C-alpha cells in the first residue's frame, strides 16, 4: 500500500527557496515515507 504525502502551500514555497540538491533530498524522503511510513527504527506510541 502506498500513502500520499501532501505539502501545504507554505511548505512548497519554502521548498522552492532551498537549493535544488536539498529539494531533491526532501522530495526523495517524502516518497520513501509514502512507500514505507513505518521504516525500521520507528516506534509506534
29 inside domain? yes
- For residue 6, how many C-alpha atoms fall within 13 Å in the half-sphere facing its CB? 2
Please tell me the pTM assigned to this model.
Answer: 0.77
6 inside domain? yes
Centroid of chain to Cα 8: 12
Residue 33: per-residue pLDDT: 87
43 inside domain? no
45 inside domain? no
pLDDT digits (tens, 9 = 90+) for 1-45: 789 999 999 999 999 999 999 999 999 999 988 998 887 776 767
19 inside domain? yes
27 inside domain? yes
Number of separate domains in the chain: 1
Distance CA 42, CA 13 (A): 29
Q: Grid coordinates in use for 44?
A: 509506534
Residue 1: per-residue pLDDT: 79
Q: Grid coordinates in use for 23?
A: 529539494
Distance CA 25, CA 40 (A): 19
Domain encompassing residue 5: 1-37
Amino acid at each position: 500500500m502506498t500513502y500520499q504525502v501532501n505539502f501545504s502551500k507554505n511548505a512548497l514555497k519554502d521548498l522552492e527557496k532551498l537549493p535544488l540538491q536539498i529539494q531533491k533530498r526532501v522530495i526523495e524522503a517524502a516518497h520513501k515515507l509514502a512507500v514505507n511510513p513505518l521504516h525500521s527504527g520507528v516506534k509506534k506510541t
